[in-house]
Each structure stands twice: as structure tokens, then as C-alpha cells.
Chain A
Amino acid sequence: MKNIIAKLFFLIVFVNSWDPLLADESVWLDEDKKKSCCKGGDKKSEAKEFLIKKGTLSDNENVRDLKNTKLYIRDMDNQITEQNISGEKISFFPEYKGNYHLFFEQKRVQDEVLHVNFSSLRIYNKEGNISKSLLKEIRGKTNDSHYGLEPIVQLPFQIIMERPIRRHHINCCLYSGDIAPFKIYYKGELQKNIPLRVSVESGWNNDVKPDEEGVVSFEIPRSTYAATEKEKKHSEKMIVEASYDVNESGEYNGEKYHAIHYVMSMPLSFGDSPLEYESKVLGFATAIGVMLVFSLGLYYNRRRKRKTRKEIYFDEE
């Protein structure tokens, strides 16, 4: 009996002390959709605005103090530019149509530890000036060029998303049921023992370990509680995050530190799997049914034509 009570006690203590898997100090980039619209309805000149959020997906706040922060933007040519940050929001004008990767960096020293937070976000600008990317427009692209990119030098610790493995028919975006693979790099070297923390808006949290090749992959969970009957193509957010500690001494803004704690987060959004509202069996059944009906129709049509016509005798009287 005592054992049971002790176990129950431990269980209650364990459950109460269970923190969300995302670290408290997590910061992540979030596109501010409530942006003031473009000048004179011209979508080309529309600025993209981003907020820096701190906390978990369900419980977070905007980071208003953006001192000691940096933003790097990687364009489609893999050119990296640093952008100054002022105010509470980050805004920039993507010049041309295509993919941009944003990398946010925040540093602070606390308890003689340098805390370095990174966050990356990929955006696709549909309304850009194509004169800057004329050659890309002429050539066109066929592959998912934003996956599996090289880590950038400016970010020593980085999570890179590889091309997801899909079980459905849509060759873009992320959907529940897709296998999302990631690689974690430190100073350009692939790290094979750093786990990835995954947190989904609807509540699923997990700590995923890399395989022998250093690929951390997981199946994007199905949102059990979403009202998919009402909104069949709803989407939700998730954050993948990894951290790494390095014993390195130094000085940052006049403050000494004896260790560095890196945290990188990557917010992503995904939709309900197309497999939720499609039927392969009916698809195959329709195609095969049409083939059978068409074939039988042809067969009988040919047989009818092959038959010798009956001679008709007219009564000439």
C-alpha cells in the first residue's frame, strides 16, 4: 500500500513538474498578418512584418526589446544580407518574387552563460518585382529549392529542414502524416546526437532523437481535436527546436561568460493531410469501371458491325 501511495506521489509530482518541451527562453519569428496594406493598392510595395515571440505556441508574448538582436536575410541567390532592427517589429520589403529565409539572432549574458537564440523562417513572396529575378522567371524552377540548403556562416548553430516525405499527391507545403526530416549543424558540422524538440499548436510535444546518419525525422501528427468537418483545409503551427551547450569563455558587451547556450527554433505551419478527404479506392474503382464499360461497349459495337446484315425482301406487288 505504501508503495502504491509513494508511486502515486511521485506521479503527481512528476506531472506537476512537467514543463512544456520548448525551453522557457525560446524565441521564434512569426509573420504579422495584420500588417497595414500596401501603398495605393500596389501589392509590390507591400512590406512583410514579423514579430519575435517568446514562450510556447499556446502561451507566448511578443519580445519588445530587440536590442542586441540581428536579422539575416537569405535570398534565392543565397546572398545573405544583414538588416538593422529598430522598434518592436521587423519589417522588410522583399524585392522580388521567390523564397526568402529569415534568420533572427539574439544574445544576452545571464549567470555567466552566453545565451544565443536563433530562429529561422522561410517566406515565399508572391508579389515581388520580377525584373530582379528575370533569369529565374525565364528558366523556372522545378524542385523544392528551399529544402536541404547549406547552413549559413553567420549562424553557428542551425536546424536545416530536408525535403519532406509525402504520402499524398500534393508536392508542396507540409501536411499531417508527412515525414519531416531535419539536420542539426554546429559550425557547419552535422551533429548526430542532438535531439529535436517538437511542439504542435494542438498540444502534441515530443523529443525526437537523430538516427545514425544524423537525420531527425518525425511524422507530423494528425490534429485529432480540430473540427475538420467544418473546415477541411485548416492549418496549424508547430515549432521545432534544438539546443546545444559549449564550454567556451569570452566576453559579450563587457560581460564575461564561461559557457555558451545555443537554442534554435524553427516555426512551421502544416495542414490536414489531403488523405483525410480523398479516396484512392474510389479513384481506382472509377478508372477501372470506365475501362470495363468502354471496353465492353467497343466489343459489342464491333460484334454488331461484324454480323452480316439481314437481307430484306420487299413485296413488289
Chain B
Amino acid sequence: MTKNKFSLRRAVNNMNLVRFRFWFQIVAFVLIVYGGYVGLDLGDKLPTFACVYNGEGTGGKCYVGELQHDLKHPIDMFMGFAGYAFLISLAMFAVWFWVLNKGWCGFVCPLGTMQDWLTVLREKSKIRYSEYSWANRGKIKSIKYILLLLLLLLPVMIANSVFGLPKLPNGLSMPFCDICPGRMMIPAFTGHFNQFYIDFSSTTDMVMTTLGMIIVGLFLVGSFIKKRFFCYFCPMAALQYVFSKPAWFKLYKDGSKCTKCGDCYRACDMDILEIADDVTSKNMVTEDCTLCLKCVAACPEEGCLEANFMGATVFESTKEGFILRMAMDQNKENHAH
């Protein structure tokens, strides 16, 4: 029994994470984008971009859409039933989120999966990747918080006069959905290209839908040349980070075992420097982390990095796993040549 347990742990630690993640993402993508066709309905508080505009196909809906809707209530209503509805939705979002923590981004998010597919396409096309400069990285980080603030504030300002300012036009009721590339890209996978449009019914709608078209263009090219291009700006990531501390799925680091070799940093799609540099913190889930676990797979130190679910280690770095994965990569390269 002990031997079996040990073998299973070893098999997990030695697995080909790239392949596992690829198939996991495909299954999650199919469930979220096409699940509705087979009656899957995971509700409307999912902490991932399960697009509300995906009509019959969607297997669930993104919480950001619901959040904007919940906030568009006059203050007197918000202090009553609408406030309860908001709190219930937020609590459900948190519960969903705590199951996978930021793993929703790395393993489930259809928009993240699309970006990973574009990265694979770029690698196959042998086109060099790009990086953000260190000077710009700090500024880029703050964009997602600005977007989060706007998506929270604008719906409130439609229903209420904030600081005596006039109420905003109703065209801004779903400000983030208007500019989210998921609104155009996710329905496209069910054959619906009807989200590619510019709405001329009002100035606000025209500006927002044009902005949406510009962002989807940037998303497609940006994700092709930069790994997880959009995740740096994602307000969902900012909202998730607020709830990240009590989540059940964690990325832990034992700093005493770290040699600062930098393999984890080089494997990281989000270029998170702390994963290699920080040897004092235990919880390594940062605001940009997508919990893709590539760092764990790339770490050559025994038990230095580990993915932990409710106190139990589910995947950890081992010398054996590192060597095996290196060999797999070598084989792949040899085949390519």
C-alpha cells in the first residue's frame, strides 16, 4: 500500500506537465465554451472568462459580467435586496475561486488557453518572442487595477450621482465586457462572429465598441509574440488576487532549498522575478501568477517548490522529475531537428 502511494506520488512528480496542462486546458475549454450544448450549466459566478455572450454554447458564465450588473443599482436598492444579491454573488465567486486559486488562469481560462495556443503557433513558426522591458513592467502591472476600479465604479455611476456628478450613460453598464477580447473571441469558437461590430446607436456605444475592436486586434498580435500578453492587464486577475490568500490551492516555496539558479524564472510565462529571488516567503502566488506550475516542473531542487491543496502536496519539484523532463525536452528537440 505504502509502495503504491509512493509510486503515485513519484509518477505525478515525474509527469510531463506541458502535456498534462495542454490536455487539461482543452477539456476545460470544451466544457466552458461548448458545455451548454450538452446541458452543462455551472452558473454565472465563475472566476474565469466563460463569456456571457457565448449564447447557447457556454457551460457557465464569467463573474465579471455579473459583478458589473450587480453594481448598477441605485444606492437605496443596493442597501436592500440588490446588496444581498451582490454579497451572495461575491461569496460564490470566492468559493469557486478558492478551489483552484489562480489555477483558474493557468488551467481553465479560455482566453488564457487561446493565448497559449498562439504561443505554440509562434514557436512552430520559429518567430522570436518579445518581453516587456523592466522599466515598463511596473506601469503595466497597475493597468489591471485601474481597469478593475473602472469596472467597479462605472456601473455605480450609471445608477447614482457620485459626488454630485451627472449620471453616466447606460452604454457603460458593462464597461469591461465592451472591451474584453473574450467577448469577440469566445463566441467565435462556436461559429458566432456577431460580436465583431461597432455600435453606432450612441457616442458611448460607438467609443466602447471601437475600443473593443482595437483591443481584440492587439490581443491577437500581442499574444502571438508575448506569452500571456493579456494576463498582465486582466482585471479578473486583480480581483482574484484580493481573494487569493485563503485559497485552498497554493504554490509554496522552501527558500532554504533554493539555489537561485533562475530556472523557475526562465520557465515563467509571466516573468515573475520573485519566484527565483524571494527565499523568505512561503506562499509564492503573486498578483500575476497563473499557477501554471511550470516553475515547479522546472525546479531541479528536491521539494523546493510545491503545489499544495488544503495542506496536501499534489505536485513538487524533484531531481528525478527535473532530469526526466529535461530528457523529454531533449528528445523533442532532437525530433524537431
Contacts and interface: CB of A to CB of B under 8 A. Distances in A.
Interface of A: 41-44, 97, 127-131, 134, 137-143, 163, 166-169, 171, 232-233, 274, 277-280, 282-284, 286-291, 294-295, 298, 302
Given A141-B44, A283-B197, A283-B209, A43 B220 contact: no
Contact of A44 (B80, B201, B202): B80
Contact of A278 (B85, B199, B220): B199
Contacts of A232: 201-202
Can you list the 9 inter-chain pairs with the closest CB atoms, starting with the nearest?
A: A290-B217, A140-B44, A286-B213, A140-B43, A283-B197, A277-B201, A283-B196, A278-B197, A287-B217
Given A140-B44, A140-B61, A290 B213 contact: yes
B195 A286 contact: no
Contacts, number: 118
Contacts of A41: 76
B327 interface: no
Given A44-B81, A232-B201, A290-B218, A142 B36 contact: yes
Contact of A140 (B36, B76, B89, B225): B89
Contacts of A129: 81
A251 B326 CA distance: 88
Task: Say which size band chain B's interface belongs to.
Answer: 35 or more
B146 interface: no
B130 interface: yes
Counting chain B CB atoms within 10 Å of each CB, which of A168, A283, A291 scores highest?
A: A283
Given A140-B43, A143-B56, A283-B197, A130 B209 contact: no
Contacts of B76: 41
Contacts of B61: 140, 142
A169 B216 contact: no
Given A274-B199, A278-B197, A278-B198, A140 B92 contact: yes
Given A167-B194, A169-B195, A277-B201, A287 B221 contact: no
Contacts of A298: 130, 221, 225
Contacts of A280: 193-194, 196-197
A43 B199 CA distance: 33
B218 A294 contact: yes
Contacts of A127: 77, 81
Judged by DSSP, the binding face of A is helix
Contact of A134 (B88, B196, B216): B88
A138 B86 CA distance: 10
Contacts of B210: 286
Contact of B217 (A43, A139, A163, A288): A288
A287 to B, nearest CB: 4
Given A286-B217, A290-B217, A168 B43 contact: no
A284 B217 CA distance: 9
Contacts of B220: 287, 291
B221 A294 contact: yes
Nearest to B74: A43
Given A287-B196, A298-B130, 11 more contacts: A137-B85, A139-B43, A140-B43, A141-B41, A143-B36, A143-B56, A171-B55, A287-B213, A290-B214, A291-B217, A294-B217
25 contacts: A41-B76, A97-B85, A127-B81, A128-B81, A129-B81, A130-B85, A134-B88, A138-B92, A139-B92, A140-B61, A140-B66, A140-B92, A141-B41, A142-B43, A143-B36, A163-B56, A171-B55, A277-B199, A283-B196, A283-B197, A283-B198, A289-B217, A294-B221, A295-B221, A298-B225
Nearest to A288: B217
A279 to B, nearest CB: 5
Contacts of B66: 140
B294 interface: no
Contacts of A284: 196
A141 B43 contact: yes
Nearest to B196: A283
Nearest to A276: B201
A129 B80 CA distance: 9
A97 B89 CA distance: 14
Contacts of B77: 43, 127
A19 to B, nearest CB: 38
A137 B88 contact: yes
Counting chain B CB atoms within 10 Å of each CB, which of A43, A279, A287 scores highest?
A: A287
A138 B88 contact: yes
B155 interface: no
A16 to B, nearest CB: 42
B85 A142 contact: no
B68 interface: no
B111 to A, nearest CB: 16
A202 to B, nearest CB: 20
Contact of B200 (A42, A44, A142, A278): A278
A210 to B, nearest CB: 23
Contacts of B23: none
A294 B85 CA distance: 42
A163 B53 CA distance: 16
Nearest to A163: B56
Interface in B195-232: 195-202, 209-210, 213-214, 216-218, 220-222, 225
Nearest to A141: B44
A142 B44 contact: yes
B196 A140 contact: no
B102 interface: no
Interface string B25-66: 000000000001000011111000000110110101100001
